């Protein structure tokens, strides 16, 4: 999510953007489509406070059977941006309260890495395709068990018998 610093008005404003998952975090975060983001922005001179709501669908993998799992993820969090100035502003926040520092020369600030981080943290540690998932039987990998299923499918047995009759 790109913020055009110069264009953010003093006071309250709202910005919505759909953010594609690209870059470094795309290795860990796979989504179906973009992340919808709505930023409620409050600018007070050199400070920008943002309440950011996100909504997306994450493609994960069942931690037991490795089947694909679709996780809808939505939430909101706050971001505080502080302009870096040579003269410390009177209302400057302590460093630990600031998420991002921008300078007057910046055109845009990218919030995407913060959003991806937040989504990753909110994902279930062990996603499951279903609560009753029994996982992969010991000693087999998923590719092998699929082959095995085909072999015992009764339709295949019927076909084999038909072929034998010919």
- Tell me which residues touch Zn ion (CB under 5 A): 62, 64-65, 67, 129, 133
Compute the distance between CA of residue 51 and CA of residue 56 in angstroms, rounded to an integer.
17
Nearer to Zn ion, 23 or 124 (CB): 124
Compute the distance between CA of residue 23 and CA of residue 27 in angstroms, rounded to an integer.
8
Q: Are 59 and 68 in contact (CB under 8 A)?
A: yes
40 contacts: CB under 8 Å, gap ≥ 6: 12, 14, 50, 51, 52, 53
Minimum Å gap between C-beta 144 and Zn ion is 16
Minimum Å gap between C-beta 82 and Zn ion is 45
Minimum Å gap between C-beta 119 and Zn ion is 22
Minimum Å gap between C-beta 148 and Zn ion is 17
In the chain, at which residue ranges do the beta strands (DSSP E only) sit?
2-4, 11-19, 35-44, 47-61, 68-84, 100-103, 108-110
Compute the distance between CA of residue 90 and CA of residue 86 in angstroms, rounded to an integer.
12
Nearer to Zn ion, 90 or 126 (CB): 126
Minimum Å gap between C-beta 71 and Zn ion is 13
Compute the distance between CA of residue 164 and CA of residue 161 in angstroms, rounded to an integer.
5
Sign of the dihedral through C-alpha 8, 23, 33, 133: negative
């Amino acid at each position: 999510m790109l913020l055009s610093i110069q264009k953010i008005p003093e006071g309250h404003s709202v910005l919505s953007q759909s953010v594609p998952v690209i870059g470094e975090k795309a290795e860990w975060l796979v989504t179906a489509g973009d992340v919808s983001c709505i930023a409620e922005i409050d600018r007070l001179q050199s400070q920008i406070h943002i309440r950011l709501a996100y909504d997306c669908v994450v493609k994960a993998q069942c931690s037991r059977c490795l089947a694909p799992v679709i996780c809808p993820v939505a939430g909101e969090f706050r971001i505080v941006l502080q302009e870096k100035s040579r003269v410390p502003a009177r209302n400057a926040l302590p460093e630990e309260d600031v998420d991002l520092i921008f300078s007057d020369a910046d055109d845009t600030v990218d919030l995407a890495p913060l959003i991806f981080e937040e989504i990753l943290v909110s994902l279930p540690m062990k996603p499951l395709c279903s609560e009753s998932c029994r996982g992969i039987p010991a000693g087999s990998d998923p590719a092998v068990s699929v082959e095995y299923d085909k072999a015992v499918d009764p339709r295949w047995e019927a076909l084999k018998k038909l072929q034998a009759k010919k």
